[in-house]
Amino acid sequence: MATYGRFPIELVRGRGVWVWDSTGKRYLDCVAGIAVCTLGHSSRALRRGLTDQLRKLQHVSNLYRIPEQERLAAWITANSCADKVFFCNSGAEANEAAIKLARKHGHAVRGIENPVILTAQASFHGRTLAAVTATGQPKYHEGFEPMVQGFRYFPYNDTAAFEALLAECEAEGPRVAAVLLEPLQGEGGVNPGNPAFFKRVRELCSERSILLIFDEVQVGVGRSGCLWGYQKLGVEPDALTLAKGLGGGVPIGALAVKATADQLRAGEHASTFGGNPLSCRAGLVVAEELARRNLPAHAEAMGVLLQNQLADLATRHPELAEGARGWGLLQGLVLQPGGPSAIEVVKAAMAEGLLLVPAGAQVVRFVPPLTIKPRHIREAIRRLERALLACRTTTPSAT
């Protein structure tokens, strides 16, 4: 089906931060499957781990205990604020599970007949019907109405607006079951969370027994420079959703919850493929490599270098770019209004052998493998600069 606007290249193999297309052209990959290939392409550790697992079992279903699943859950809970984990196959599914959890919490804990979940404008939580309703961007809703009931939106990082909406919703008694937020908005423009805002949201949720859920699908698993994005904010959620980088390229998602938020009971939620031996073995390999290679700290250091290089690029070409923002290896170059769009820059960069991804209309996003090295970042900036200059010569509004 024609659900994707694909670029006209066919990628056939990869190694580390490099990929090759069917013509033999090599690209420096700063997309990594959209923040998925944590260990880079064709990781030796993943090849060994998955080959070993395929000699044993790839799938048995959750009718039975799965040792790899239990080990991965133990790693997540030992290294986060969570106590329990539900495994699924994607970020959208993890957020669907979180939405069901929120509604169960609203009914069982707050006694709400029709629970409401508050989410941020410019957010992105997935493409399933409930997850896309939670997404605070009307363009993703168009053509799929009526949306799922029970969602309200407020401007991201705006404490006053959040407090006003919460007061409006609760004017006649408990109505809000949960607040669902990204610690850093990725798809919405690479917008980092404000610690003061998140601290206030945490206080208000705690006062009212409202669940605070963090969508860490893109920012989690070391990409922020910490293992989890919430650590950048100094605030712990009641639950967090994971996917993308957790499996290093093998599909896996997870909803991790504190014991106090563990409301789902046997038979209330399930997944045929969720947490199968193969996907969980991939997650275990990623976990082992994160620790062995200290990849969160490496991502922090490389993120500082990348952000500085992007800022320098914007200083050299102020007519094209405003600056850079982000955490760790989730960085965005903010383009000037009236200049080339993000998609135009991405296409020009592709011609230069650099893969990037838009984050909205005027932000170009970098989400490379966490294994990227300084020489790769400097090469990416050189190629990006050539792409920007090519856009300047072809975009009348930018000249």
Q: How far apart are CA 118 and CA 153, in angstroms?
A: 6
> Alpha helix (H) ranges present in the chain?
32-35, 44-54, 67-78, 91-108, 129-134, 159-169, 195-208, 230-233, 277-292, 295-316, 342-351, 374-394
| Both structure tokens of 310 | 């992007």
Contact 104, 268 (CB under 8 A): yes
Give me Rg for the CA atoms of the chain.
Answer: 21
Burial class of residue 291 in the structure, from the number of CB atoms within 10 Å of its CB (0-12 exposed, 13-18 middle, 19+ buried): middle
Whole-number Å distance between alpha carbons of 298 and 289: 12
Side chain identity at residue 40, one-letter code? G
Question: Cα–Cα distance between 348 and 355 in angstroms, integer?
Answer: 10
DSSP collapsed to 3 states, 240-274: EEECHHHHCCCCCEEEEECHHHCCCCCCCCCCCCC
Q: Which of 29, 87, 104, 124 is catalytic?
A: 124
Do the beta carbons of residue 364 and residue 346 sit within 8 Å?
yes
| 215 is an active site residue | yes
308 φ, ψ (degrees, to nearest 5)? -65, -40
Query: Cα separation of 274 and 232, whole Å?
Result: 29
SS3 136: strand
Closest CA to 274 of 248, 245, 256, 254: 254
365 token code pair: 């996003």
Would you give the DSSP letter of residue 1? -
- Active-site residue, 56 included: no
Helix axes 159-169, 195-208, angle to 10 degrees: 20
CA distances from residue 108 to 205, 260, 264, 347 in whole angstroms, order as listed: 16, 12, 11, 50
Concatenating the DSSP letter of every residue in 12-36 gives EEEEBTEEEETTS-EEEESSHHHHT
Active-site residue flag, 21 = no
Which among 238, 244, 258, 366 is annotated as catalytic? 244
Catalytic residue (choose from 215, 232, 238, 258): 215
Give the residue numbers annotated as catalytic, written as ranges: 124, 215, 244
